[in-house]
Amino acid sequence: MQASGKRKIVAVVLGLALVVALGAFVISGDSGDPSIPDGAVAIVEDAPDGTITQDEYEANLRQAAFNLQLRELPAEDDPQLEQVEQSALSNSIQTRWVKGEAEERGITVSDRDIQTAFDQIVEEQLGGEKGYAQFLERSEVDGEPAFTEDDVRAVAELTAISDRLQAQALPDETPDVPDEDVELFYEANIEQFETPETRDVRVVLNPDAAEIDAAVEDLGDAPTPEDWDAAAKKYSTDEATKNQGGLRRAVAEGQNEPALDEAIFSAEPGEVVGPIEGESGSYVIQVEEVSEAATTPIEDVREQIVQTLQQGISQEAIISFRDAFIGKWTSRTFCQEDIAVDLCSNGPPPPEACAIDDSTERDAADPATLEAGCPAFAAPLSVVNPGTGGIFPGQQLPVLPQGPLKPPAPADAGLPGGALPIGPDGAPVAPTGAAPPAGTAPPAGSTAPPAGAP
């Protein structure tokens, strides 16, 4: 049952970029995995308070359900239950990952930092003090509070820590770009800086070839613009140009049907050409002006290229930190088998790349699947340095690494209260489903009222 008048609390924190595949970093558990203590559901080694208790997990279940607009926890046979469970465990895990990383880097936050983050959450996400009070009053699942003031302050603390962690881990200086890389990028992407030849051409079109013959006769060998005005109005069926003397400006090769295209780009300027038989009818044309193809000099686009490469370098730094962060902390996280998620080193394995690669699977497979076959093997590619192989910082490799990719984590699988991570470009992700500021309309399609509404 969906709850009315409820608001999510969403802290935008560093967390994880869980929109990427985690499969490459999942390490299967073995006999050396630490055991989960009684009364706990997971442990994160080398993180502050690394044991995730059953009580904490159950409290996070209520928070995850609340953020899905639910008044009650889903039943065992409800498909939403798995999403709620994954979000609840992920919240606790990511909290410890962020705090553990901060501790290893010597990052601390003051009470003032936490209060600043708390005030920001109250004002920007909960509609001020009145909205905050209503939020606490209404955040109830199964008759128990989903969020207390302590929970909101915990989110504020995590937000403050994440801000400090992001500032330290990700470079904020503008990276230098060597002139050599600019030149290599320019040469490798020269088509971006080329302007094709275009032609201004006058055209009369008519599906009746006899009408075009008459237009050719009226125009003669050296028609004036006035002659074209008269001929277009009298003979042309092209509504777009018949009242403009048949003039089409800046026509590029390939924009017209083949017969007309060939005539336009083979005609000498001033030459009357026609009749031309095409798919849409007959034509007579005259090229008025030719704008030659040109290439923008590198100096005119150097600043643009530098900015592109700087963004790519920054993106690579973000990806590098994100991947190392996920890999390190996943390997330290162990969960109860029945609720393990991708963030656990003993989490579920990635789906099989090909489900018909042995006789048993083929016997049970849908015939259509057999016809489709398996994806072709794609050899993994190593990182390519700027200027080599046409790949530059921030550009995608032309071939994806071999192996299946795991689906992304649930949209609300963030930090406590459905907190979301930074996006792939390093910018904070906008709070999904968060309450808008007081007095503003909710997003299109939303059933939630504006923050502060009764």
Percent helix, strand and coil across the chain, each to the nearest 5: 40, 15, 45
Q: How confident is the model at residue 314 (pLDDT cuts 50, 70, 90)?
A: confident
> Which residues in 428-450 are b (16+ Cβ under 10 Å) and which e?
ebebebbbbbeeeeeeeeeebbb
Residues 73-82 have a mean pLDDT of: 92
So what's the pLDDT on residue 216? 93
The pLDDT of 252-277, averaged and rounded, is 91
Residue where one domain finishes, among candidates 253, 276, 292: 292
- The CATH number of the domain where 214 resides is what? 3.10.50.40
- Among 279-288, 348-357, 412-421, the minimum mean pLDDT is found in 412-421
Instruction: Give pLDDT, residue 226.
Output: 93
Sign of CA dihedral 168, 169, 174, 179: positive
* pLDDT confidence bin for 26, thresholds 50/70/90: very low
Q: Provide the pLDDT confidence category of residue 7 given band limits of 50, 70 and 90.
A: very low
Decide if 445 is inside a domain.
Answer: yes
What's the mean pLDDT in 108-127? 93
Residues 282 and 304 in one domain: no
Of residues 182 and 419, more confidently modeled: 182
Alpha-carbon distances of 80 from 31, 61, 350, 406, 427, rounded to whole Å: 33, 12, 21, 19, 29
Name 339's bridge partners.
none
Q: Is the pLDDT of residue 385 over 80?
A: no
In a domain, 30, yes or no: yes
Task: Find the helix or strand (DSSP H, E) in which 74 lies.
Answer: none
pLDDT of 22 reads: 29
pLDDT digits (tens, 9 = 90+) for 273-300: 989 998 889 999 999 999 999 999 999 9
CA separation for the pair 75, 119 (Å, rounded): 36
Give the chain's end-to-end CA distance (angstroms, integer): 20
Residue 124 domain-assigned? Answer: yes
- Top pLDDT among 135 and 2 is at 135
| 383 found inside a domain | no
Residues 165 and 106 in one domain: yes
Domain identity same for 130 and 205: no
Q: How far apart are CA 297 and CA 444, in angstroms?
A: 46
pLDDT tier at 170, thresholds 50, 70, 90: confident
Helix (H) or strand (E) holding 179: helix 179-188
Of 257, 292, 327, the one marking the end of a domain is 292
Residue 223 to residue 227: CA distance in whole angstroms: 6
Say whether both 279 and 213 belong to one domain. yes
Within a domain: residue 362?
Answer: no
Q: Which amino acid is at 142?
A: D
Same structural domain, 183 and 39: yes
86, 114: one domain:
yes
Residues 6+ apart with CB under 8 A from 239: none
Q: Are residues 35 and 110 in the same domain?
A: yes
Give mean pLDDT, residues 358-373. 67
| 82 has pLDDT over 50 | yes
In a domain, 381, yes or no: no
Both 81 and 137 in one domain: the answer is yes
What pLDDT is stored for residue 317 in this prediction? 84
Question: Same domain for 346 and 204?
Answer: no
* pLDDT band per the 50, 70, 90 thresholds, residue 416: very low
Residue 312: pLDDT over 70: yes
Asked, for residue 367, whether it belongs to a domain, the answer is no
28/159 same-domain check? yes
- For the segment 23-30, the average pLDDT, to the nearest whole number, is 34
**3 state SS of 202:** strand
Total count of domains within the chain: 2
Q: Are residues 282 and 251 in the same domain?
A: yes
Write down the pLDDT at residue 223: 92
Its domain, for residue 230, covers 197-292
Distances (CA, A) of 113 to 13, 16, 123, 418: 14, 21, 16, 21
Query: How confident is the prediction for the chain on average, in pLDDT?
Result: 76
Per the domain annotation, does 149 fall within a domain?
A: yes
Tell me, yes or no, whether 205 and 56 share the same domain: no
Q: Which of 400, 384, 425 is CA-nearest to residue 21? A: 400
- What 3-state DSSP class applies to 76? coil
Residue 316 pLDDT grade (very low, low, confident, very high; cuts 50, 70, 90): confident
Q: Is 42 in contact with 344 (CB distance < 8 Å)?
A: yes
Q: Of 292, 307, 335, which residue is a domain's last?
A: 292
